[in-house]
Amino acid sequence: MNGKKIIFASLLISMAVAAELVFPPAFAQKRGSASNGSPSNQEDVYAPLGKAPKKAAARRNPMENDSDAVSAGGNLFAEHCAECHGEMAEGGRKAPSLLADPVQQATPGTLFWILTNGVVRRGMPVWSKLPEPERWQLVTYIKSLQPGEKTPKSAPQ
Amino acid sequence: MQRSSASVRVRLCLLALAIAAYAHRGLAQESPYIVTYDHYLEEPGSLEVEYFSTFGTQRGGNDFHAFWGEFEYGVTAWWTTEVYLDAQTTFNESTILTGFRFENRFRLLQLEHFVNPVLYVEYEQISGADKILKEVEGHDVEADYAVPNAIARKEHDHELEWKLLLSKTFNGWNVAENTIATKNLTGGNPWEFGYAIGASRPLALKASAKRCSFCRQNFIAGVEMYGGLGDRHDFGLHDTSHYLAPVAAWNLPSDWTLRLSAGFGLNDNSHRFLLRWGVSREFDLAEGIARMMGRKP
């Protein structure tokens, strides 16, 4: 394998990196509209919540009375979600706040449906690779978040 | 090993370490498969740096240790791109770089369905000495790998490979099936076909309330089977090789993933034993680069 091929491979990686750095709006959630955006921006960012089928939205959270679910969900959030949504779910460069009313008022079934299916066109991957109980633990954690507070009702360990 | 090859490897390692030093922790929840692909793509903006090894026994030749690096990047939630650099050591012969692969995977449907299809397109520029066995196709048989490096490396292949990846996760189980079609662009070789199937499951479906390295949910175990299906002129199992491999992955809270696979040849055309292992870590590439450049991400 000669140097030219290595350079070609490096160029391909560089192109992908450049695409991410130069055109992030095309690949990421709309920015800045998470916790302090205008109402119209909020409607747009959180519109996918309204796409959950009624049957899915009506599902009950089997973990809502599980005493460990908030802590376990918090650990899962730190591992898989905080990178985009912010460590306190306040929203980040790539993804909106989960403290906002549309999320906090959504049914557990709706949040579970969004986690399972992602919002692929807007950059949120599908998370069906997490087992169903773990997704419900995440929903429990997200629903435990209190807007304005620094920590949820039960912080992850 | 050629001096220039070693130098390139050192530079790639230094680049990966530099990004790792600046990047935010990644998000690892990797499948244990080494050959089979499921339908989950890289998270947008994440770079997964992976190293894999394959130790293979060889009848009629020297055993070998093939190894490769993967740089897998999530461009969007529906598009993942990846570059591989392949190399191998054949014992009592030599260590050589054997080529590169450039791969793209595209998620075809937005929502989760009963079966989730992903289109895989790969361009390979490899020598005949490539032994990573990342996929088995056509009439690949063990005897092909007995050719000494000095001769095999003179053969240069430019291949276009298509895969249809089908995958489903239910009740914690992932089941994946890959159909492979490969065309060697050099010479008049026919289309070659192959398959890979896999099933896996975490040892626990609920996360524990405490972060821990040895919790059962961090371990995923499964099995995969892969092999060739002949070519356009001779489709079927005649003169093909097949493998069955238990696989396991350990997803550490520190965002490292370790994988192990012990593959067993299922017929006389197959290597008797393929031991594979790998280590990988994910980084938020854009954030890492922004921090390196002194910008707040």
Q: Does B83 touch chain A (CB under 8 A)?
A: yes
Best B76, B251, B254 member to test A by mutation, with max A CBs in 10 Å, is B76
- Residues of chain B with pLDDT below 50 are 1-4, 26
First to last CA, chain B: 40
What pLDDT score does A148 carry? 62
* Cα–Cα dist B81/B103, whole Å: 6
Burial (0-12, 13-18, 19+ Cβ within 10 Å), B60: exposed
CA distance A103 to chain B (A): 20
Contacts of A119 in chain B (CB under 8 A): 77
CB contact under 8 A, A17 and B289: yes
CB contact under 8 A, B27 and A83: yes
Could you state, in order of their start, the residue ranges of all structural domains in chain B?
Answer: 3-292
For A71, phi then psi, to 5°, come to -65, -45
Q: Which two tokens stand for residue B229?
A: 């299906």
What pLDDT score does B10 carry? 56
* Out of A3, A20, A71, closest to residue B75 by CB: A20
What pLDDT score does A23 carry? 43
Contacts of B110 in chain A (CB under 8 A): 117, 120-121
What pLDDT score does A38 carry? 56
Put simply, the chain B residues between 2 and 31 with a CB less than 8 A from any chain A CB are 4-5, 8, 24-29, 31
What pLDDT score does A35 carry? 44
CA distance A137 to chain B (A): 8
- Which residue is listed with tokens 């292949």? B157
Q: Does B69 touch chain A (CB under 8 A)?
A: no
CB contact under 8 A, A1 and B209: no
CB contact under 8 A, A125 and B38: no
Q: Give me the CATH code for the B3-292 domain, please.
A: 2.40.160.40
What is the 3-state composition of chain A as percent helix, strand, coil, each rounded to the nearest 5?
55, 0, 45
Q: Does A7 touch chain B (CB under 8 A)?
A: no
Write the DSSP string, B145-173.
Answer: GGS-HHHHTT-EEEEEEEEEEEEEEETTE
- Residue among B294, B265, B293, B290 at smallest CA distance from B24: B290
pLDDT digits 0-9 by tens, A123-140: 999 999 999 999 999 999
Which of 1.20.120.1630, 1.10.760.10, 2.40.50.100, 1.10.10.10 is the CATH number of A31-144? 1.10.760.10
What pLDDT score does A147 carry? 72
**pLDDT tens series, chain A, 157 aa:** 455 555 565 565 555 555 544 444 333 444 444 444 455 666 688 999 999 999 999 999 999 989 899 999 999 999 999 989 999 999 988 899 999 999 999 999 999 999 999 999 999 999 999 999 999 999 999 999 977 654 554 445 4
Could you state, in order of their start, the residue ranges of all structural domains in chain A?
Answer: 1-29, 31-144
Q: B40 and B28 in contact (C-beta within 8 Å)?
A: no
When computed from its CA atoms, the radius of gyration of chain B, rounded to whole angstroms, is: 19
Residue B147 has a CB neighbour count (10 Å cut-off) of 17
What pLDDT score does B285 carry? 77
What pLDDT score does B20 carry? 54
* Cα–Cα dist A132/A59, whole Å: 13
Q: Does A120 touch chain B (CB under 8 A)?
A: yes
CA distance B236 to chain A (A): 33
pLDDT digits 0-9 by tens, B148-204: 999 999 999 999 999 999 999 999 999 999 999 999 998 788 999 999 999 999 999
Contacts of A3 in chain B (CB under 8 A): 4, 8
Put simply, the chain A residues between 38 and 77 with a CB less than 8 A from any chain B CB are 68, 71-73, 75-76
